[in-house]
């Protein structure tokens, strides 16, 4: 009898430890998702313009899931220590619902990160940058964001300045190819904001223009946010799965 008592105590101890970890991870997930929601990176207007802000939906779900995990972990600890069947049954059912929501958030974040290919930004840039009759405010935002991106990161276009040569664009309508093979922001500028060597920039002499593309500068922060939400949520779910299995085993062994 003492041996099975020991086993029960060990199982209780493991379940309490598991719930403590879940509670802490829930708080961490809430904090991380609040950070993602409230701290948009510089390229956020571009994401808004693609009408693909799934990462925000995933982060909002993550905030509430984190709080729910914290509350449920406390309920779980109480239920395990008291060996109460009703408490543990409520705990298991609510945890399953939370599990389902967190699964949705994870997959949404991973899908969002997957869908942001260079071509998405390339098409948006060609169609909207310096559009002469902006339909709405988002076109102005796109232009402003691209100018800031190109100036701060010393880059040009999505894959490089050749984007402006390979495709026609809204920019090309208002700026002739002879004068502006690519926008002035692609040239190396001096302290006053004027190109150091305009002819060199137009010809593409290295040193007078920025030859690398901006895709790395855009995708870096976007990927960091998306992976943070997706992979951390995935890790929490794996741990929660184990704790839930243990809790169900414990629940089924409790006597009335």
Partner 1 sequence: LPYVPQVPPMALLGRVTATTFALERPRGVFDGHADASDSVWLAVAFANGERSLFLWQGTWGPSPQPLTHHLCRAASAAFRNPQCRAEVPLYQQLLAACSYMTLETAAAEYSCSAPSPAVLRVGGDTACGDQDRQDPCNGPLPSPGPYRVKFLLMGCRGPKAETRWSEPILLRTALSPSTIEPAPARPGSALVVIASILASLGAALAAAVLGALGAKAWGSLCHRGLGTGAFIRRSYRSHHIPPALPQPPPPGCGCSPPGLCPSA
Positive or negative CA dihedral for 133, 137, 142, 145? positive
CB of 195 to partner 1, least distance (A): 13
SS3 187: strand
Distance in angstroms (rounded) separating the CA atoms of residues 65 and 99: 8
What is the dihedral angle through the alpha carbons of 219, 223, 226, 230, rounded to the nearest 10 degrees? 150
Positions 187 through 216 that interact with partner 1 (CB under 8 A): 199, 202-205, 209, 211
55 binds partner 1 (CB under 8 A): no
Please work out, in degrees rounded to the nearest 5, the angle formed at the alpha carbon of residue 15 by the alpha carbons of 9 and 21: 140
Dihedrals phi, psi of 189, to nearest 5 degrees = -105, 150
Positions 118 through 137 that interact with partner 1 (CB under 8 A): 119-120, 122-123, 126-127
Number of residues that bind partner 1 (CB under 8 A): 56
CB of 45 to partner 1, least distance (A): 17
Q: Which residue has 């984007």 as its token pair?
A: 163
Binding mask 222-241 for partner 1 (x = CB under 8 A): --------xx--x--xx--x
Positions 83 through 122 that interact with partner 1 (CB under 8 A): 92, 96, 99-100, 103, 106-107, 110-111, 113-115, 117, 119-120, 122
181-211 exposure pattern, b = at least 16 Cβ within 10 A, e = fewer: bbbbbbbebeeeeebeeeebbbeeeeebbbb
Distance in angstroms (rounded) separating the CA atoms of residues 183 and 150: 10
CB of 33 to partner 1, least distance (A): 17
Positions 143 through 162 that interact with partner 1 (CB under 8 A): 160-162
Interface with partner 1 (CB under 8 A): 92, 96, 99-100, 103, 106-107, 110-111, 113-115, 117, 119-120, 122-123, 126-127, 160-162, 165-170, 172-173, 176-179, 181, 199, 202-205, 209, 211, 230-231, 234, 237-238, 241, 244-245, 248, 251-253, 255-256
């Amino acid at each position: 009898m003492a041996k099975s008592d020991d086993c029960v105590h060990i199982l209780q101890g493991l379940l309490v430890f598991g719930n403590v970890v879940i509670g802490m991870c829930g708080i961490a997930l809430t904090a991380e998702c609040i950070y993602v929601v409230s701290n948009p990176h510089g390229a956020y207007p571009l994401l808004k313009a693609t009408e693909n802000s799934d990462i925000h939906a995933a982060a909002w779900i993550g905030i509430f899931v984190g709080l729910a995990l914290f509350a449920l972990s406390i309920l779980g600890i109480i239920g395990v220590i008291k060996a109460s069947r009703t408490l543990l049954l409520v705990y298991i059912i609510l945890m399953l619902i939370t599990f389902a929501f967190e699964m949705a958030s994870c997959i949404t974040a991973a899908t969002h990160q997957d869908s942001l290919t260079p071509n998405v930004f390339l098409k948006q840039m060609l169609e909207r940058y310096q559009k002469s009759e902006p339909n709405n405010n988002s076109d102005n935002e796109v232009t402003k964001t691209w100018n800031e991106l190109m100036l701060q990161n010393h880059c040009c276009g999505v894959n490089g300045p050749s984007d402006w040569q390979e495709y026609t664009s809204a920019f090309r309508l208002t700026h002739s190819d002879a004068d502006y093979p690519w926008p002035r922001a692609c040239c190396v500028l001096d302290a006053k904001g004027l190109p150091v060597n305009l002819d060199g920039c137009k010809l593409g002499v290295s040193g007078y223009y920025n030859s690398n593309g901006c895709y790395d500068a855009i995708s870096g922060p976007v990927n960091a946010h998306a992976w943070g939400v997706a992979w951390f949520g995935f890790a929490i779910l794996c741990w929660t799965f184990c704790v839930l299995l243990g809790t169900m085993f414990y629940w089924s062994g409790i006597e009335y």
